[in-house]
Amino acid sequence: MINRIFYHTVCFALTLLSLNAYGQIKSINGKNISKSSMNSFLLAQMDSLKLPGLSIAFIDNGKIIYHNELGFADIENKTKVDSNTIFEAASMSKTTFAYFVLKLVDKGILTLDTPLYKYLPNKDIAYDERYKLITARMVLSHTTGLPNWREWDLADSSLHIKKGDLYLKFTPGTHFSYSGEAYQYLVNVVAHLLHKTQKELDAVFYKEVCKPLNMKHAYYWWNNYISKYRATGYKQKDSDGVNVKNELKKFEEFGAAGTLRTNAIDYANFMIGLINGQGLSKKSLAEMFKQQSKVPDWDDADFWGLGINMKKTDYGTRYMHSGNNGDFTAYFMMYKDKKKGFVFMTNCNRAGDLFDKLEPFYSNGK
């Protein structure tokens, strides 16, 4: 019954796709992608991957030319994804936060290279003097040496670090190591410098980033809008196509590393702001897209900028970020010089599989 409902819902949404498309989709190599081809592609992928719901948008020439909301926000209640539905952007939260930090740099509130302990000491890592080397630049380029999350990215046993304690993997600034913990340290620094609580910081983010970039709904902190319009998160075990409902995560914190709730349209507007250089000084924009750190052994990235990764391709430099909160996953990619790209969010753990199909289809036009 659920599969039949799912199929008819997707077909109905795809029928309406032409109402949501603003122009012709062009692949990265310049070929036209017809609406019918994109319809067929999305329908086939959602059916194959058993995606519950999807929010997706494409950008060309710095404008949203195509978007849609497909499938179910909640399977059990048969609630369809629509333009109000909110998804978890997961780690794509880092890119919007990096932009926010750079706006504060432009305002003179902090600098990229001042050690963060001078603004606010971190008592959890104060036992290791090396932490005093950590700067905002290192946080945003993942070179602090802090673990991703202390609870499960545990220290080597030879270091004799108590399970769950914060620690350094290496001297800050010497290597790449992806870290959500580092972002949360920077959140605390920013809140301290602005004399705000983390909850109040969300309102500052909305004023400084969302309103200027036409992001109608994008929030780090739980609120009534999210409660009303959030999608339900699902997880497929062993890619068996069975969507298992996960417990609600409210994220009552400003989680720069992963708690942003939004949809593809609003995130695409943020990407357009990046593409057009809106809201940042030329210096800060250049720093964001500069190769700040070398990424070892990642298929999707060669280098990391500030809050964004990059990879050389046959079509130029591809900038992107992905997100994975377990039951919500997401991707965005863009070619800044070409003013092109896409973003999508889904309420299950199969975004990586969709990206692997969508990226070559969008790049080559077939």
Give the mean pLDDT per block of 10 residues along the chain (366 residues): 42 40 79 86 94 96 94 97 98 98 98 98 97 98 97 86 92 98 98 97 98 98 97 90 94 96 98 97 98 93 97 96 98 97 97 96 87
Each residue's pLDDT tens digit, 306-361:
999 999 999 999 999 999 999 999 999 999 999 999 999 999 999 999 999 999 99
**What is the pLDDT at residue 11?**
43
Who contacts 109 (Cβ-Cβ below 8 Å, separation ≥6)?
190, 193, 194
| pLDDT score recorded for residue 12 | 42
Instruction: Say if residues 344 and 330 touch (Cβ distance below 8 Å).
Output: yes
On whether the CB atoms of residues 327 and 319 are closer than 8 A, the answer is: no
Provide the pLDDT for residue 6.
45
Core vs surface per residue 147-158: b (16+ CB within 10 A) or e: bbebeebbbeee
Note the pLDDT of residue 297. Answer: 86
Q: At what angle do helices 180-194 and 198-205 cross, to 10 degrees?
A: 90
Report the pLDDT value the prediction gives residue 24, as an integer from 0 to 100. 81
pLDDT tens by residue, 177-195:
999 999 999 999 999 999 9
Q: According to the model, what pLDDT value does residue 347 have?
A: 98
Taking Cα atoms as reference points, which of 225, 202, 206, 216 lies closest to residue 263?
216
